Amino acid sequence: MGQANGRKSIFITGAASGMGLETARLFASKGWFVGGYDVNGAGLAALEKELGPDNCIVRKLDVTDKDAYEAAVADFGDATGGKMDLLFNNAGIGAGGLFADMDFADNLRVVQVNFIGVLNGIHAALPLLKATGNSLCFTTSSSSATFGMPGIAVYSATKHAVKGLTEALSVEFKLIGVRAADVLPGLIDTPILPEGAAANAPKEGMFRAIPPVEVAKVVWKAYGSDKLHWYVPPELVELDKMATNAPEATREQFATTGPLAGLLAQAAEAAKNKG
């Protein structure tokens, strides 16, 4: 286990792959001490080997286990002298399908990882964040937090919750000298995507496939900024504005041109014939 020895430090969940892995690499290249946490033990071992054991601490962690999360934060604090410059709540899972057809247990697991896991992390890390000047609590939300996305309804709901939590805490945490912000990524080419999704994505526009290193770059920029919401790619902010200003029009656009438009039309026709 490495020691920070005065270096700035970042605690990253979901660090074994995708956006978390790229963030760990980027911050390590900038001279930061990295805490990497994931359920993927093999991926963490590879990360530790890549960064060097003197530059990081890695630990297998299920973010839904609050006791385990608190123990991981305690170990991190031992290595950093009780400091944490940046908490990156990044771990997340997805489950797709029509809500009426999905196994309810799968939906609950998404809530547990994507939202309860974030609550666990912020609560556990807050003493270290408070003890560190200019610290940042940074969380992965999603473009699906701009408007509720059909086909990933519960996932989308958890990301709306993350966005709302971040907004509230960005105000509350001013009282204790901690900043809060989030990133709303679009289609990021990571293992969470269904097979072939990135290859079949549009080549242009807000839903083009984006390499995960672009999110890592945003995490780096966010540490030096007071900006609240970060969109990757940036044009996703227009979807957020549209959903706020014209929710009914946004709803109709998803229903008529979105990926579920065909299924919705079939369901309507079936209901008509049944009637």
Asked if 136 contacts 87 with a C-beta cutoff of 8 angstroms, the reply is: yes
What is the sign of the dihedral through the CA atoms of 157, 61, 42 and 220? positive
Return d(Cα 152, Cα 146) in angstroms, integer. Answer: 13
37: β partners: 13, 59
Asked if 149 contacts 140 with a C-beta cutoff of 8 angstroms, the reply is: no
Contacts of 31 (CB under 8 A, 6+ apart): 7, 8
Rounded to 5 degrees, φ, ψ at 131 are -85, 0
Q: Look up 155 and say whether it is catalytic.
A: yes
Catalytic choice (37, 155, 223, 231)? 155
Catalytic residue numbers read 155
